[in-house]
Amino acid sequence: MSSFLPTEQRLAITCQRHPAFPRDPAVLVRLIKHIYKRVHDDANAMLRPYGINHPEYNLLMMLYGTEGYALHATELADAAGEKSANITRLTNELCDKGLIAREASDEDRRKVTLVLTAEGVALIESFLPDVCALLERQAGDMQPRETAQLERLLKKFLAQLERE
């Protein structure tokens, strides 16, 4: 039985009780939530041996994908989709692990720049083969055309959410 089947059954009952309930958008939102949970859980399991979790991985990868391996805290929060309070907690943990460092900003001394340390870069490069394998497994047997179509549709969905 599909892990999503009980959700579909509950949605059917909801639609019977309230015929105006928008089933299709509800299915999309709930599918995204189920997918996120599975991706998050799989990533946490894969990253555990490296001593980090999925939110920490996301921050490290945002810095790794940036020229100079550096971002201001607000830029990092935006890039990672995290709230500023969570960024503070996560960056404190990453600093304590020696994976990132805080530096005074060159442009504005009141700003802090978060920078990957050499240890952070080394850790990322050690787990990237496992991340690549996980991503390939998660995409499964989706064809490149299907992946591109899903990407386009998800970007369209996100753009709609950002307009509101």
**pLDDT tens figures, 57-96:** 999 999 999 999 999 988 999 999 888 889 999 999 999 9
Instruction: Map tokens 């340390």 to a residue.
Output: 117
Strands 100-104 and 70-72: unpaired
Predicted pLDDT at 164 = 77
Give me the residue label for tokens 């050499």: 118
What pLDDT does residue 30 have?
94
Helix (H, G, I), strand (E, B) or coil at 50: helix
- Please list the ranges in the chain whose pLDDT falls under 70: 1
Please name the residue ranges forming H helices in the chain: 5-17, 23-47, 54-64, 73-80, 84-96, 118-139, 144-163
pLDDT of amino acid 104: 84
- Give every CB contact of residue 110 below 8 A, 6+ residues apart in sequence: none
Q: Answer for the pair 100, 92: CB distance below 8 angstroms, yes or no.
A: no
